[in-house]
Structure formats: C-alpha cells, structure tokens
Amino acid sequence: MTRSSSRPLRRRRQPLFIHAARTLVIGWVGFNLFLLVWIVTTSLKRSKDVFDDPLAVPADPQWTNYAQAWSVSGFSVAFLNSLLIVATASLLTVALAAPAAYMLARASTRTAGPLTTFFAVGTGIPLQAIVIPIFVLMQSISSFGYENLGWWDDRISLTIIYVATSLPFAIFLLTGFFRSLPHELEEAAALDGAGWGRLFVQVMLPLAQPGLITALVLTVVSLWNETLLALVLVVDTDQQTLPQALLGLYGTMQYTSNWGGLFAGLAIVVIPIVLVYWWLGRRIIEGLTVGAGK
C-alpha cells in the first residue's frame, strides 16, 4: 500500500551507503537460501564426502540417508510424536483461546480488562521461571497416574504444558482480532434473540476464521521448534519429539560419523516448516509481529 508512495519520486545520485546496504541485503538473503540448499544437497551425499569433499555436489543422490534417519535413527517415531503432540496442543490452544479472547474483547464486565492484562503478562514470562515447578508438577501427575491408573505417558504432560504456554500469545492475538470485528452483526443477531453461545458459534467464529488460522499456524510453528520443555519432560526415546531426536543423533556423531544421515535428519526437521512458511509466510510474519507495529 505504502509501497509505491514511500519511494522517492526521482532517483538522484545513489550514494555509496545505499549500494553497500543493498549488497548487504542481497548477501544476507543469499546466505539464507544457500544454507537451505546446502542442507538438502549435503543430505544426499555419502557420509565420508561430507567433510572430505565439502565443496562437491553429490554425484549420485544417497536417498538411503533418509531411509536410515527415518527408520534406524528413530525419526519416524519422533516425527509422529511431534505431529501428534503439536497438532493436539495447537488445536486445544485455539479451542480454549478463542472463546476466552472473544469474551475478553467484548464483555463489559469489571474483570475483562485486568484478565486481559493477566494473560498478556504470560507472554513475557520466560520458560526459565516456570520450568522447574512444571517439572515437579508433571512428575507428581505422572506418578499419580502410575499409582491410580497404572499408566502415564509423558507426551500427555508435554501436550498439556504446550497448551498452557501457548495460551497467552493466542489469547493476546485473538483478543486484538475480535476487537477489530464490527459490532453491527452481533447487535443484529442479539436483536434476533440469539444468546452468547449461538452468537459466538454461528456469527463470530466464521467471521474470525482468518484470525483463528493465524493463531493456529503460529502455535504450530512455535511448538514444532520447541525443545527445552521436551528435554525436561520427555525421557523415553520412543516418546521424544523431532528436535530431541535431532540432538540425540547429533550426539552420536562422534561414534558413528553418519554425517549423511545427520543432514537427512536436519532436512526432515526443517522442510515441513519451510513448506508451511512458503504457503502461509505472510500470515506468519504479520501475526508474529502484531502488537509491535501498533
């Protein structure tokens, strides 16, 4: 929108500084693209060529690297774990955040303002402040599960914590979004005799769809990359998430030197996010920087 108007009307002499800055932009972008291409091409090399001949392009692609990372190094299990945990936690986050955000944005009760702030404070609390109590709490929940149900799964603990830690940002984002929606439709629906419940489900949720999708995508991206909580809460290798599997594989390199497999593992972690970014990049960028630009 401001794109054309923000350019100077006529280009006069281009000072050195501008040239240097443009070169920096191009170089920076080039490096980012290069890193991605490098991960993918190296993942198709033989392990011994990764460091013996780092400049060479893979002559015959080693797809076995992927097969090996996928089955031998446990990436298939980790991938499914990540997929399951991230999907469940993200959907639950939005399902809890949407009604709360709607009420906080619209209801005129005395507690709405302070509660909005209370949730917003949560986005500024670093994990370091809560990770130890969470570790203790989840330990006692899992031992409660073992004693009374004979069973517990750390992936459930992780999912619960993922929902809780994702809520503040989702509520913040959606509160802003609901506020930006027009009041007229609600008023019309209210005159037709619709209560809060029907109003929310039939009128507001369809209207809020873009906001809900943004909240969902941002939660997915952030949880896909989350590692600290997974490291603290999930011990069993069969239950670990993708970043954990990658760290585990990286740690074995000094014994196995399976570098090709490691790069395949890197690609397995990175490529899904690249695809999501390719598809929904604008939404991700704008959602993540909301609040700052206002």
Partner 1 sequence: MTATMTAATVAPAPAEARSRRRPRASDGPLGRGRRRWYWLFVGPALTVYLAFVAGPAIAGIWISLHSWRGAGDPMRWVGLANYRRLWADDIFRTAFLNSLTILAVCGVAVFALAFVLTMALREMRARSLLRSLLFFPYIVSPIAIGVALGLLLDPRGLANATLRSVGLDSLAQPWLAPDRLFSTILVGIVWVSSGFYVVILMAGMDRIPAYFYEDADLAGATPLQKFRHVTLPLSWDVVSVAAVLWVINSLKIFEFIYAFTGTGDSPAPDTRTVPIHQFVITTGGRSPAYLLGYGAAMGVVLVAAIAILVVLLRRVMRRDAVQF
Considering only the stretches 11-19, 59-67, 70-78, 206-214, report the one whose residues sit in contact with partner 1 under the rule CB under 8 A.
11-19
Using CB under 8 A as the binding rule, whether residue 78 contacts partner 1 is answered as no
Type of residue numbered 172: F
Nearest to 84 by CA among 162, 9, 26: 162
Task: Name which of residues 89 to 108 contact partner 1 (CB under 8 A).
Answer: 96-97, 99-100, 102-105, 107-108
Q: How far apart are CA 133 and CA 38, in angstroms?
A: 41
Closer of 133 and 150 to partner 1 (Cβ):
133
Contact flag: residue 182 with partner 1 (CB under 8 A): no
289 interacts with partner 1 by CB under 8 A: yes
User: Considering the rule CB under 8 A, would residue 246 count as an interface residue with partner 1?
Assistant: yes
Interface with partner 1, residue 148, by CB under 8 A: no
Residue from the set 66, 70, 119, 177 that interacts with partner 1 by CB under 8 A: 119
* CA–CA gap between residue 234 and residue 153 (Å, rounded): 9
Q: Which residues contact 174 (CB under 8 A, 6 or more apart)?
A: 97, 98, 101, 102, 105, 208, 211, 212, 215
What single string gives the DSSP state of each residue in 95-122? HHHHHHHHHHHH---TTHHHHHHHHHHH
Q: Determine the size of the site formed for partner 1 (CB under 8 A).
A: 135
Task: Show contacts with partner 1 in window 212-241 (CB under 8 A).
Answer: 218, 221-229, 231-232
Q: Does 123 bind partner 1 (CB under 8 A)?
A: yes
Instruction: Give the C-alpha separation, 113 to 111, whole Å.
Output: 6
- Among the listed residues 200, 180, 181, the one whose alpha carbon sits nearest the alpha carbon of residue 190: 200
Contacting partner 1 within 31-70 (CB under 8 A): 31-33, 35, 38-39, 42, 50-51, 54-55
CB of 73 to partner 1, least distance (A): 13
Binding residue (CB under 8 A) for partner 1 from 190, 205, 207, 213:
190
Q: Which one of 117, 148, 150, 182 is in contact with partner 1 (CB under 8 A)?
A: 117
All residues at 6 or more sequence positions from 3 whose CB lies less than 8 Å from its CB, including other chains: none
